Amino acid sequence: MPLYESVFIARQDISSTQVDQLQDEFAGIIAAGGGEVKKRESWGLKNLSYRINKNRKGHYVLFNIEAPSAAVQEMERLMRLNEDILRYLTIRVDEHEEGQSVMLQSRGERSDRGDRGDRGDRGDRGDRGPRREGGDRDRDRGPRRDGGRFGSDRGSDRGGDAHGDD
């Protein structure tokens, strides 16, 4: 049978027990279709990169599935109909990863950054020059070409008179 990984994001305002119920519901659909959920991971409530349906956070859940495609399609169909599911993504994989996913590994366990080694004494970084505060920035740039923040021709590119006398 084909192997799949499926991740779905549930709304932020449902409880963890409701997320567990959703997991059980979707696992039951896979089982009824002749498949099996090999692994379930709840990644918890995480920030979204952008707002989805007025939600800034979501409950993330991962399934490793071994099931026929018809069972996965039925699960996806029910995810589309469920109002608590913001997004889902299911992909076919050659094999499932053993152990925890990268999302559940603590930063200390991850070795993707490699050994950073001894960086040595960095000194006081005197080669950078003096540090400037935000007010110095405008003096270095010189005068603005457009006549200031709003300019003298404000609104003239809107097709009519700047004062509204068409």
Residue scoring higher pLDDT (32 or 149)? 32
DSSP structure class, residue 27: H
Can you tell me the distance from the alpha carbon of 44 to that of 46, in angstroms, rounded to the nearest whole number?
Answer: 6
Please compute, for residue 7, the number of CA atoms within 13 A of its CA located in the half-sphere on the CB side: 11
What is the reported pLDDT for 98? Answer: 84
Can you tell me the distance from the alpha carbon of 56 to that of 84, in angstroms, rounded to the nearest whole number?
Answer: 14
CB 37 within 8 Å of CB 64: yes
Can you tell me the distance from the alpha carbon of 116 to that of 126, in angstroms, rounded to the nearest whole number?
Answer: 23
| Cβ atoms within 10 Å of 166's Cβ, excluding its own | 6
Structure tokens, 57: 């956070």
The domains of the chain, with CATH numbers, are 3-48+68-90 (3.30.70.60)
pLDDT tens per residue, range 15-56: 999 999 999 999 999 999 999 999 999 988 999 999 999 999
